[in-house]
Amino acid sequence: MRVYSFGEGSPEVSVVFGIHGDEVSGIDSGLDIVSDIDDGVIDVLRPVQFVFVNEEAYDRGSRFCNVDLNRVFPGSLDSDVFEERLASELLDVVEGTVVLDVHSTVSYSGVFSCVSSRDMLVENSELIRCMGIDTCAVLSDFDGEFMQYFDEGLCVEVGVMHSERAFKLARLSMMQFLSCTGVIGDDYGFDAVSEEIDVFETAGCIEGEGVRFVGDNFSKVGSGEVFGVRDDEEIVAEELFYPILMSTDGYSEIVGYRGEYLGVLDDVVGSCE
């Protein structure tokens, strides 16, 4: 793990990338911003750190070395498994800071923000509003994820892995986050932000090895509508749902996650408080 720190005093903000060694869009974008700060292109107004996490997996050209790092938090320094030790080390590094955790996917070409629970959604609603990304997913069906264990912040998925668009969205998301947290000035980040943010929540996975997904993530699939094909057989929704992280190649034994639409952010937060 490599940590780049800027500004006077202990870091108050963390930009984290490379949880998965094959998600190079976030890695390249993070290192690009580090270089710009080093060169004086970007002025830092608040102490910040950039954390390149699974450098060893990246150097191997793999997603992880032993196990998926984003399924083993909080980890343990006493573990014999590399990623479990790394998980514990990362939590120590980001403790007490506001965190942005950057990922890319194979399931969605756009950018969306993620939190691990409705409580996390409420606690970070001001940051989510400031980020202005028009879609937010509450990923409540995952265990051992990094974002379940940091105190303040959120995760972003920035588009299809290895694409130029994902690199651009990763950099814009990082810059917007740095602006929202006061690390840099206001004249960076997205050209326009969404004032109305749609919130979805996972409600269980949909099993289906070898299924070709034919729907669109975050777009309604009505009861009786086709959302997948396997061996020329159409797979039909038994009830209305919204696909979240569904894809043909993203998982080995599932298509992805069945989602519910909760409403726009302000309404969802108001109903939770």
- Who contacts 194 (Cβ-Cβ below 8 Å, separation ≥6)? 132, 133, 134
Burial of 120 (0-12, 13-18, 19+ CB in 10 A): buried
Please calculate the CA angle 153-53-30 and round it to the nearest 5 degrees: 70
Residue with tokens 């959302």: 227
* pTM to 2 decimal places: 0.95
Distance CA 238, CA 202 (A): 16
**Domain check: are 241 and 157 in the same one?**
no
Task: Please compute Rg for the chain using Cα positions.
Answer: 19
Distance CA 143, CA 47 (A): 31
Residue 140 lies inside a defined structural domain of this protein: yes
**pLDDT number for residue 253:** 82
Question: Which residue type is seen at 180?
Answer: C
Residue with tokens 């947290």: 181
Residue 190 lies inside a defined structural domain of this protein: no
Residue with tokens 């749902």: 241
**Domain check: are 208 and 118 in the same one?**
no
**pLDDT number for residue 192:** 67
* CATH code, domain with 165: 3.40.630.10
Per-residue pLDDT of the chain (273 residues; tens, 9 = 90+): 999 999 999 999 999 999 999 999 999 999 999 999 999 999 999 999 999 999 999 999 999 999 999 999 999 999 999 999 999 999 999 999 999 999 999 989 999 999 999 999 999 999 999 999 999 999 998 999 999 999 899 999 999 999 999 999 999 999 999 999 999 987 776 776 788 999 999 999 998 888 899 999 999 999 999 999 998 899 999 999 999 999 988 887 889 999 999 999 999 999 986
Distance CA 169, CA 35 (A): 18
**Domain check: are 31 and 158 in the same one?**
yes
* Token pair of 271 as six digits: 């109903």
**Domain check: are 84 and 154 in the same one?**
yes
Residue 160 lies inside a defined structural domain of this protein: yes
**pLDDT number for residue 250:** 82
CA neighbor of 246 nearest in space, from 264, 224, 220, 271: 220
Element of type H or E holding 51? strand 48-52
**Domain check: are 27 and 143 in the same one?**
yes
Residue 189 lies inside a defined structural domain of this protein: no
As for how many domains the chain has, the answer is 2
**Domain check: are 164 and 238 in the same one?**
no
Residue 34 lies inside a defined structural domain of this protein: yes
**Domain check: are 230 and 145 in the same one?**
no
Which domain range does residue 48 map to? 2-180
